[in-house]
Amino acid sequence: MLYRILADLVVLAHLGFIGFVVFGGLLALRWRWMPWLHLPAVTWGIFIELTGRICPLTPLENALRRAGGLAEYSQSFIERYVVPVVYPAELTRELQLTMGLALIGLNALIYAYLAWRRWRVTG
């Protein structure tokens, strides 16, 4: 039971990190210090997507599930609704590259706007 809870917490952390990678740049519109946290996270997300690698949280979750004797996902709330978002079944290499490029584009727009706004105030 403990391993299942830990595995679920890893999935939630993974989902939270993905959300931060995708939308964290918007937090920089409010807090000037946020890019110091977000830029390394988005760089990691882009690296994972463009190289086709696996985030270290994935093997950690799988190890916890195995340690808890769970060979496959059951139908808890987290596993039914959160896991498919983190690990989509239709994830292909092309989709992964598209998501990586979209991530670059979205964050380039956000940070370009931030740079323009700061330049306008100081310039």
Mean pLDDT by 10 residues, the chain (123 residues): 87 89 91 94 90 84 84 55 72 84 92 89 73
Amino acid at 86: V
78: CB partners within 8 A, 6+ apart:
8, 11, 12
pLDDT at 69 (0 to 100): 82
User: Domain map of the chain by residue range?
Assistant: 2-122
pLDDT at 78 (0 to 100): 57
Q: Are 15 and 76 in contact (CB under 8 A)?
A: no
pLDDT at 71 (0 to 100): 58
